[in-house]
Chains A and B, each alone.
Chain A
Amino acid sequence: MELAEQVLAGNRRALARLISFVEDDDLAARDALALLYPHTGRAHVVGVTGAPGTGKSTLVNVLAKTLRGRDLTVGVVAVDPTSPFTGGALLGDRVRMRDLAGDPGVFIRSMASRGSLGGLALATGAVVQVLDAAGFDVVLVETVGVGQAEVDIARTAHTTIVIEAPGLGDEVQALKAGLMEIADILVVNKADRPEAARTARALEVTLGLGWGHADNGAWRPLVLKTVALDGTGVPELMDALFSHRAYLQESGLLRQRERERVRGDLMHLLERDLVARLIARVGEPALDDWVRRIVEREADLYAAVQALLEA
């Protein structure tokens, strides 16, 4: 039986194998992804992002447990950084997810970022599609610990949860562009700490500045407080998740976001293949020669690009 058929039949070993092929960009993966594609589009994809140590893995763990309590199956993709020096990675998110062991309704996969800088690995989107096709109702995607501008998750996820820890900054931090803007739900985790109320208030004030009094039916990001370790605030977070899902469906945004995502993916693959084709045509030596000439100030970057494109 084809790998893709085995995945559709619920074979977890085949699922794990296929994810590896997808990660390695193996040719076998492309055929399987093509076969699986008609079966995608059913899962709700939830992104969980935030700075290192804010509690992403712990929150993913408790979210998955709560979703299982509502009879929904859960796929988890947890991304950790690859070393830029050795190419190795230490993937440690499972440490906080031991509660999920032994549940056939859960599948957890750790992924190394493999040089990608936007908080996800290049192949994360395709791995999410595989889990979607395999029939998981919800796919939770945990990004690497991020700073301010790693926002790839917003394109992959339907609902993006941004986690903040208490006391990490004032209102000005919350005003900055980037991470804060992609939140559909903002969670102040570790809310048992004294600074939590102030942090939540600062976030709410900042959001309020952007919203004024207008009520145009758009989604207003929610600010919630949780203690992921003991589950405080998680039922409210679950409600927020479901109301965001409903909002996306009713407003037509679900479709619109999918169009944007597909367009982005299409452009990305086109760029990659076009560049590969161009390099195959002109050859690495010619490329190296242009690099040498630019360094020697015999030519400039723009002239090189023009010449290579016309070669």
Chain B
Amino acid sequence: MSKRLRILVAKPGLDGHDRGAKVVARALRDAGMEVIYTGLRQTPEMIVEAALQEDVDGVGLSILSGAHMTLVPRVLQGLRDAGLDRVGVFVGGIVPDEDVPVLKEQGVAAIFGPGASTDVIVETVRQVLGEA
């Protein structure tokens, strides 16, 4: 059987609104990927550990709380420390325009704001992870 893309979808931080994460998880599933959904209130450490155990190709982080500038760098650093440099990181949620280049500079592959279509998300994930 050929290699199938495995994606971890996680919600770090304390906001309890996971509809967006579920919609994206469902869209990636329908695009033929294996989506590991971890649910709410994950710490960056939990996310890194799950990414390692599940041997994922990508990690999708859904953050609506405004804490992305703290949480995302901690996930990126944790992945690097665990030797998971090649794992692509995607962020969805409310990210102000001025934060976008900063996060991309730090290694985030793509950022999706409100209104991003699931088609675009699926295509971007495929392209970044090398399965266009």
Contact = CB atoms under 8 A, between A and B. Distances in A.
B32 A98 contact: no
A94 B42 CA distance: 11
Contact of A114 (B1, B33, B84): B1
B45 A16 contact: no
Contact of A102 (B1, B3, B46, B82): B46
Interface stretch (A32-40, A82-90, A194-202): A82-90
B29 A90 contact: yes
Given A13-B52, A102-B49, A25 B1 contact: yes
Interface of B: 1-4, 6, 25-26, 28-39, 42-43, 45-46, 49-50, 52-55, 82-84
Given A90-B37, A91-B34, A92-B37, A108 B46 contact: no
Nearest to B54: A110
A102 to B, nearest CB: 6
B55 A17 contact: yes
A87 B32 contact: yes
A16 B37 contact: no
A114 B1 CA distance: 9
A86 B36 contact: no
Interface size class of A (residues with CB under 8 A): 20 to 34
B55 A16 contact: yes
B46 A89 contact: no
B32 A91 contact: no
B36 A110 contact: yes
Contacts of A108: 50, 53
Interface string A17-51: 10110011100000000000000000000000000
A107 B55 CA distance: 12
A12 interface: yes
Contacts of A24: 1-4
A31 B82 CA distance: 26
Contact of A13 (B2, B33, B83): B83
A98 B45 CA distance: 12
B29 A83 contact: yes
B83 to A, nearest CB: 6
A89 B53 contact: no
The 6 closest A-B pairs by CB, nearest first: A95-B39, A16-B55, A88-B29, A101-B46, A87-B32, A88-B32
Contacts of B37: 90-92, 94-95
Given A90-B37, A92-B36, 10 more contacts: A12-B53, A24-B3, A86-B31, A88-B30, A88-B34, A92-B37, A94-B37, A95-B38, A98-B38, A102-B46
A155 interface: no
A121 to B, nearest CB: 10
Contact of A89 (B1, B3, B29, B43): B29
B33 A102 contact: no
B36 A102 contact: no
A16 B51 CA distance: 9
Contacts of B42: 98
24 contacts: A13-B82, A16-B53, A20-B6, A20-B55, A24-B4, A25-B1, A83-B29, A83-B30, A86-B30, A86-B31, A87-B4, A87-B32, A88-B30, A88-B33, A90-B26, A90-B35, A91-B35, A95-B39, A98-B39, A98-B46, A101-B43, A109-B54, A112-B34, A114-B1
